[in-house]
Amino acid sequence: MIDMNQPVGRTPLDEAGGLLGRPLDRTDGPVKVTGRAPYAYEYREGGAPAYAFLVEAGIAKGRLAALDTAAAERASGVLLVLTRRNAPKQGGKADGAIPQLVGETILHHGQPIALVVAETFEQARAAAQLVKPTYEAEQGSYDLASAMPKAVVPKASNGNQPDSRIGDTDEAFAAAPVKIDVTYRTPPQSHAMMEPHATLAVWDGGGLTLYTANQMLPRGIATVAATLQIPKEKVRLISRYVGGGFGSKLQVQPDAILAALAARMVRRPVKLALTRQQVFHVTTHRTDTIQRLRLAAERDGRLTAIEHLSWSNNTPGQSFYETAANATRSIYAAPNRLTEHRLATLDLPISASMRAPGEAVGLLALECAMDELAVALTIDPIELRIRNEPAEDPELKIPFSSRALVPCMRKGAELFGWDKRHPEPGRVRDGEWLVGMGMSAAIRGNPMLAAKASVSLDAGGVATVKTSMTDIGTGSYTILGQIAADMLGLPIDGVKVELGDSALPEAPGSGGSFGANSAGSAVFDACSTLRDAILRRSGLPVEGAEFKDGFVRAGGRSLRLADLARPAGIQADGAADPGKSRREYSQHSYGAHFAEVGVDSVTGEIRLRRMLGVFAIGRVLNAKTARSQAIGGMTFGVGAALMEDAVIDKRHGHFVNHDLAEYHVAVHADIPAIDAVFLPELDARSSPMKSKGVGELGICGAGAAVANAVYNATGIRIRDYPLTLDKVL
Ligand code: MOS
């Protein structure tokens, strides 16, 4: 059992010449690009499936007075129309359940009101059009700004209190020679992952298997079991390949529950995929936010007060709020500090986590406010941040496990050519384009969760790693293989990795940038135990033993691992726990973003010209997958700055642009030269790999660097995301 209460000493992963860190291709690449990697909707398990199609509520608030299903039931091929009339009893919200089709109350547009099950997908879809709801609609509230006065203090989230206060920000603000008081707005955003939510539900005896698209299998099992009121042991989730998640699959969504209910009733497997348009309303999204920043400083740039107040919203009964001000608690020094989160209830679809929940939008506000302060002080934005670098976590008053924000900014400035930036806005032209540069700090929490794994070595000398970790396109298969390969002295194709099945040793899954450290630590532990078992069997001295090239060597002797595994193989279990010391060190990954944009002086069109991120994430586990995560996150950040906006129809409470034609995300043409660089770093307090989280770091601050570049190009400060051309003109 790995317990992170002690710093990790030297391990086999520190030996030179290993695979860890190398830019290995993803081991799951070939099965993916040849179409042999099954995604949820492609499974054929359990015999011929029936197909389901969801019917969504067409109002945002009110009562489903009547639901006429007669025509749908008579339609060809229809096996079942599941509604509140015949939906089985389910667990309640208090037990962590997400009951479907219960009651008459409509809480948001897109709430499932019926499921049509038929022999074919086309029959189910056609019959779904025949379901006729009658509503008693009520006027809902859909506007965060108007709801601010009624917003409440939300419940603590993941142990983080919604508010923090040190000193007196009012007093410091009144006394400060230089101050900034600005309000930023960020819009609702949709995860826009490639694979929409889909489930194949198969009942066998009393047991349920869901082939579904999910990031966190144990959490999913708990929700399914609580909702269907069956023991957790009766539920198996399989998500071997997931076409992106970004948080939308941290929780099971209604597709999994509805497919399970329907499959039990029609006594055969049921497949249900949400359409892209349904994903926007039926599942979760990132809430819009309103964030007020007050920064007060001495003339030399030292902050005397930081105040970050954030409002977000959610559907009635939902407690999730956007923790936009959490990073503000540890990024800069200042004696007087205030952060507050308020949650308004709106009659909109459910808000939940989306990539870097909190920091992603929090830094869109904070890091632009810092840029505004730099302008007010006429101090270089990097210099301003360096002058406010804290020696310890400024609110928790505990040391950082490692913190390389300043080196990231310095390295980025050098590589990007920051010295060529004109400090005065609107001074650099290229034809009709105004050109500007901007930067932002990046910070993202580095959590770790308890995880288990097993590893076995067969008589052929091949190792198999098993854990219920998922790979949502990030490279989990590959990096876990690299860890095991280095621990056991095997080549990468000498290690098989099995993931994405809740029957495997329990790991929390992919989310919150905790995946690699959590599952990787458990794999490390299992491999350590397996090494001990192999050594015991070999009779070789433990001291100085070396696992390399399929052999174990010690005391001048050398034995083949395959021979030692004979006849029946050899197996070991591993586990890891974050331990208490994670609360004694402030743990984050850091970075700095640099962006250059052109703004057309005639049309207002904004074009990213080039972008660089420099990051410190502890040990880089795989230079290629880490870079992909970083530039993917940066691309996400560019989208947040310039285009992503789920537009709320303020009369009817739905997202107007609920598809990928209208909800714009950054595409290749929007992302020219973009690069990510990692500084060498090891964090012995983070994990046995000495690595930190990277999956969400790239988005954090990326959009602010773009927005700051737009200001530098034009002198126009836009505080309402996204920065579209109409706001420039
Ligand atoms: Mo992430 S929003 O924890 O997938």
Express each pLDDT in 641-664 by its tens digit.
Answer: 999 999 999 999 999 999 999 999
* Separation of alpha carbons 453 and 498, rounded Å: 10
Atom of ligand 1 nearest to the CA of 248: 4
* Separation of alpha carbons 295 and 333, rounded Å: 12
Q: Are 122 and 244 part of one and the same domain?
A: yes
Atom of ligand 1 nearest to the CA of 354: 2
Q: Is residue 430 part of a domain?
A: yes
Q: Are 56 and 204 part of one and the same domain?
A: yes
- Residue 515 Cβ < 6 Å to ligand 1: no
Ligand 1: centre distance to CA 216 (Å): 10
* Separation of alpha carbons 383 and 406, rounded Å: 10
Of 323, 444, 474, 441, nearest to 702 (Cα)? 441
Q: Are 216 and 315 part of one and the same domain?
A: no
pLDDT, position 582: 83
Q: Is residue 654 part of a domain?
A: yes
Number of domains the chain is built from:
3
Angle at 146 between CA 140 and CA 150, to 5 degrees: 85
Task: Quote the tokens at residue 138.
Answer: 């009520």
Q: Is residue 330 part of a domain?
A: yes
Q: Are 171 and 310 part of one and the same domain?
A: yes
Chosen domain end from 548, 577, 606: 577
* Separation of alpha carbons 454 and 466, rounded Å: 5
pLDDT, position 160: 85
136 in active site: no
Q: In this structure, what DSSP letter does residue 218 have? A: H
Phi, psi of 283 (to 5 degrees): -100, -165
Q: Is residue 4 part of a domain?
A: no
- Residue 133 Cβ < 6 Å to ligand 1: no
Q: Is residue 249 part of a domain?
A: yes
Residue with the two structure tokens 């129309």: 81
pLDDT tens digit sequence for 140-197:
999 999 999 999 999 987 778 999 999 999 999 999 999 999 999 999 999 999 999 9
- Residue 245 Cβ < 6 Å to ligand 1: yes
Name every residue whose Cβ is closer than 8 Å to that of residue 75 and which is 6 or more positions away in sequence.
118, 123, 126, 127, 130
Q: How far is CA 161 from the centre of its chain?
A: 21
**Span 100-129, mean pLDDT?**
98
Q: Are 181 and 208 part of one and the same domain?
A: no
Q: Are 236 and 119 part of one and the same domain?
A: yes
pLDDT confidence band for 434 (50 / 70 / 90): very high
pLDDT, position 581: 80
CATH number, position 132 = 3.30.365.10
Chosen domain end from 220, 247, 273: 273
Q: Is residue 11 part of a domain?
A: no
pLDDT, position 618: 98
Q: How far is CA 64 from the centre of its chain?
A: 34
What HEC string does 327-374 produce? CHHHHCCCCEEEEEEEEEECCCCCECCCCCCCHHHHHHHHHHHHHHHH
pLDDT, position 579: 86
Task: Give how far Cα 692 sits from Cα of 520, 619, 695, 702, Å.
Answer: 11, 7, 10, 19
Q: Are 487 and 421 part of one and the same domain?
A: no
- Residue 353 Cβ < 6 Å to ligand 1: yes
Mutate to test the pocket of ligand 1, among 248, 286, 355 (most ligand atoms within 8 A of CB): 355
Contacts 24+ apart (CB under 8 A), 548-551: 548/489, 549/489, 550/461, 550/489, 550/490, 550/491, 550/494, 551/489
Q: Are 545 and 464 part of one and the same domain?
A: yes
Q: Are 456 and 430 part of one and the same domain?
A: no
Phi, psi of 299 (to 5 degrees): -65, -25
Q: Are 61 and 103 part of one and the same domain?
A: yes
pLDDT, position 159: 79
Q: Are 470 and 606 part of one and the same domain?
A: no
Chosen domain end from 273, 305, 338: 273
**Span 309-326, mean pLDDT?**
97
Instruction: Share the mean pLDDT of the chain.
Output: 97
Ligand 1: centre distance to CA 510 (Å): 7
Q: Is residue 514 part of a domain?
A: yes
Residue 498 CB neighbour total at 10 angstroms: 18
- Residue 244 Cβ < 6 Å to ligand 1: no
Q: Are 250 and 366 part of one and the same domain?
A: no
CB distance 351 to 324 below 8 Å: no
Host domain of residue 521: 448-577
Q: Is residue 682 part of a domain?
A: yes
| H-type alpha helices, 434-501 | 476-488
